[in-house]
Chain A
């Protein structure tokens, strides 16, 4: 069983590690991965050995919250038949009895019931039934909507953080002013601001200390989470970022209280040893950093929000011949839905009535609307352009193609790239190591200076500047933006590992049929013998082939239809297995088939011999048409190359990537196609089961291979390759086997995927560099290394500012990925 749990209260990568460790130790857990950026735990467990409640309890035990992602639905239902306030009560009671109803309020004056419910438990229809059963009429809901609780929760979190920061700033600024003004010459420019004489530190030291206590108190109250979570983690042996903040600021506060006590005993010089402002301003700055972090984190998941926003909120269902608008959650499989021109298709289904052009660009990226008629499939969130269609719902809720895409992107965003392991390992040891460094450095300085305040400054500065939050954010935020950006381009990375591995690819193997080519034979040439009309030849061959089920025959029939040629009556149709067909049309005896058939029938090629050879050279399949014993012409059929194939391969080669083509076709055909698109390495006549071996051989040469394919026969090779890429027109098996799914059939998305991977990994490296740089450069400075050689000493407040800045800079850098654009030359 695999589940995802939203977690609250995490502040750094160490928190994520801590939860992973705690949950991972439980019996029955196969894997537990926490993504710090999405704040979600992905856990795989054996239901026989452990229940979800036990996992959630463990999370709470180690100091974090399990957030229930309840999606709340709501509607305002006009009610008929109400006469008095008692009716309102009665209806409220009736609705309230429906399981899953979260709130209900009936207004007598407006005669409307405002109801919210958990859509997993209750349905609007059940609520309406309850109203009807109570003796009233439940009219069509005027407005309904689903509320994304997760989004609201995040907005609430940002709002709370903002309020906390504002409170901290309101008290922090005067606190800092009080502490800084006596410091000459730092704030001499503040000379014009008043400074109450009863707070002069040397004349009224106790007043001064009490004023600082009064000012720091609200800041510590709004920052209480750092202490509750931090100390709990510390005492449980897994210190995290909160622990560093809690220990550092607590040391400052406790020592300041000690100084205050010393003032009361007559040691007035102790007023110079107060650090309340350090604690207060550190908390304020970290709250500011956390606020900016929460806002930026929200932006990293905008792509998924866009995808979620594509789905319409309501659907029109045909019930008893009437059109009824219902919430999307209420749609059930088998219901017939109606979509008007310009409307969004609410769920996946099959058209039963009507025809229209449907814009599927939001799913496939394909900008040209597709014509759809009865029997064709339609997908949720696509737009019905110009006709009224009715369709039967076949997939609803989490089963729709859109929901599957969202899930795939969410899973990818929640997964960890191998590069993240490094950051995780470092973060895991980082905090305890920092605690040790802080204690050792402070002790050394105390031994050297015998000054408790100096040693304390060192201790606090190290703890504060070394908070590893930037380290924790470096990888997941870039992956979130990268995978989200990929989704915008119709490129679905199935995980962080795929995203990371893709940037290393140096060789790409393309399957031919359906990947480089359209996968659908088309008529490419119609060559006529002297005295034969082209249209006549095509008309005859198409009419004769209409009875055949061979793909090559279909191509000829399709071409005739495209050219709007009229079909002729066919008599005596006969398929000649492995050779072709024969038939009689308008009294003429016709043979259509391959060279072997021509040889058997002793037909001379005459002038067309050269044309026949040319077509074969080009990898096309010539079909010879013989009318009344004489060769009338050749219709050549071939699987044509996609428009973008050659361009995509050129771009890939420019990117320094070797390109190969793999196919079961004969060498001649394969070479012809390869020549058209610019591929020089051709692996031809490869049996489906041997495709993966060919990939393996390339890997044995030390290459990092990506395989691009679409068919079931490509699946083993997709799995064998370092990165398997399936294209949009491909089979479900290919998509299952692939690491990257291209939603369109456009091969230009292959270089785009590699470019995006390269950009993302570059971004991750930059993030990791900055995160490590802040910490590795910051710790020696905070430890007083520069001071040892006559340089400056890092003020704990500046340490807090630098630490907050590190997270914000890493997030800002990750957000730069949103500006990614594929390079085409």
Chain B
């Protein structure tokens, strides 16, 4: 019995080591986190980020200028949001949005900002503070905010409940390299007719909850093909 158990255990150890491919993977099982950083680097290469007007953030602007994704260089020093998306409110207003009915801190003039604080933690930049290095801080400090969206083969950063900034895992094979994803609830509650929002698609998207349960949810989508 002992010998047989040892044999089975050995077989499993070998199989497990082989399947996790290399030693690094064996010790760092966060394959999504690692891969998210790699693919975000590819996105930044295709669409470089720039320092925002507020010196503390990096900004990745959509090619049409209608929306931007921003993330803070030093999350421990965050005054408002550590990650956020900012986009033009006018298409929503035209579709019936009553800005006063949006939750506090969302409407800023003609723009809407959806963002969130990340878990503050010690910063550990090694070398230059680059957009990618700052993104790596997000992955390190608040890994839960970064996820993989299997339905679109995207990674995403949650900026507020149900709203995300997503980018393609592999830009070479995906026709949606970068997508702004909005939870339509606050907008519909504030009078928006989803079908009338120009520049944003309104469609059901397969998503999953925090227990991994899959379901479909309606979203506003603003996708971009950067190729």
Contact = CB atoms under 8 A, between A and B. Distances in A.
Contacts of B5: 221, 224
Interface string B1-18: 000110011001001101
Interface in B129-152: 143-144, 146-150
A221 B149 CA distance: 35
A272 B12 CA distance: 21
Contact of B20 (A258, A260, A269): A260
Contacts of A200: 208, 210-212
Nearest to B15: A257
Task: Give the 9 A-B residue pairs with the shortest CB-CB distance, closest first.
Answer: A182-B212, A261-B19, A184-B213, A206-B29, A260-B19, A264-B21, A195-B211, A201-B212, A269-B150
Contacts of A268: 31-32, 35, 148, 150
B213 A182 contact: yes
A260 to B, nearest CB: 4
Contacts of A439: none
A272 B150 contact: yes
B31 to A, nearest CB: 5
Contacts of A204: 29-30, 32
B124 to A, nearest CB: 21
Interface of A: 181-184, 188, 191, 195, 197, 200-207, 210, 213, 217, 220-221, 224, 228, 257-258, 260-261, 263-266, 268-269, 272
B214 interface: yes
Contacts of B211: 181-182, 191, 195, 200
Nearest to B1: A224
27 contacts: A181-B212, A182-B213, A184-B213, A197-B144, A200-B208, A200-B211, A201-B208, A202-B147, A202-B148, A202-B212, A203-B32, A203-B143, A203-B144, A204-B30, A206-B30, A207-B29, A213-B16, A217-B9, A220-B12, A221-B5, A260-B16, A260-B20, A261-B18, A261-B20, A264-B19, A265-B21, A269-B153
Given A202-B148, A203-B144, A264 B31 contact: yes
A204 B29 CA distance: 8
Given A200-B211, A202-B147, A202-B148, A217 B12 contact: yes
Interface centre among B12, B20, B31 (most CB of A within 10 A): B31
B31 A263 contact: yes
Given A195-B211, A264-B31, A266-B35, 16 more contacts: A181-B211, A181-B212, A197-B210, A201-B208, A201-B212, A202-B212, A203-B143, A204-B32, A206-B30, A213-B16, A220-B8, A220-B12, A257-B15, A260-B19, A268-B148, A269-B150
B31 A203 contact: no
Interface in B1-57: 4-5, 8-9, 12, 15-16, 18-21, 25, 29-32, 35
Contact of B147 (A203, A221, A269): A203
B9 A221 contact: yes
Interface centre among B5, B143, B212, B213 (most CB of A within 10 A): B212
Nearest to A216: B12
Interface string B161-180: 00000000100000000000
Contacts of A221: 5, 8-9
Contacts of B16: 210, 213, 260
A194 to B, nearest CB: 9
Contacts of A265: 21
A205 B32 contact: yes
Interface of B: 4-5, 8-9, 12, 15-16, 18-21, 25, 29-32, 35, 143-144, 146-150, 153, 169, 208, 210-215
A655 to B, nearest CB: 54
A726 B35 CA distance: 85
Contacts of B149: 202
A181 B150 CA distance: 18
A interface majority secondary structure: helix
Contacts of B15: 257
A810 B72 CA distance: 68
Contact of A213 (B12, B148, B210): B12
Contacts of A210: 16, 20, 29
A203 to B, nearest CB: 5
A206 B8 contact: no
Contacts of B212: 181-182, 195, 200-202
Nearest to A196: B211
Contacts of A181: 211-213
B31 A266 contact: yes
B35 to A, nearest CB: 6
Contacts of A207: 29-30
Nearest to A199: B212
Contacts of B153: 269
Interface centre among A182, A257, A266 (most CB of B within 10 A): A266
Contacts of A272: 150
Contacts of B148: 202-203, 205, 268
A380 B147 CA distance: 80
A197 B18 CA distance: 26
Interface centre among A204, A228, A269, A272 (most CB of B within 10 A): A204
A433 B5 CA distance: 32
Given A207-B29, A224-B4, A268-B31, A184 B215 contact: yes
Given A200-B210, A217-B12, A261 B32 contact: no
Contacts of B214: 182, 184
B12 A266 contact: no
Contacts of A188: 213
A611 to B, nearest CB: 86
Nearest to B153: A269
Nearest to B22: A264
Interface centre among B35, B148, B208, B215 (most CB of A within 10 A): B148
A207 B31 CA distance: 9
Nearest to B155: A268
A260 B19 CA distance: 6
Nearest to B214: A184
A442 B64 CA distance: 49
Nearest to B28: A206
A126 to B, nearest CB: 36
Contacts of B208: 182, 200-202
B25 A264 contact: yes
A183 B148 CA distance: 17
A1 to B, nearest CB: 35
A220 B9 CA distance: 10
A262 B19 CA distance: 8
A265 B150 CA distance: 15
B42 to A, nearest CB: 13
Contacts of A183: 213
B148 to A, nearest CB: 5
Contacts of A261: 18-21
A254 B88 CA distance: 51
Nearest to A217: B12
Nearest to A225: B4
Nearest to A227: B8
Nearest to B35: A266
A224 B8 contact: yes
A231 to B, nearest CB: 13
B169 A206 contact: no
Contacts of B18: 261
A64 B182 CA distance: 64
B61 to A, nearest CB: 27
Nearest to A182: B212
Contacts of B146: 203
Contacts of B20: 206, 210, 260-261, 264
Nearest to A220: B8
Nearest to B149: A202
Nearest to A188: B213
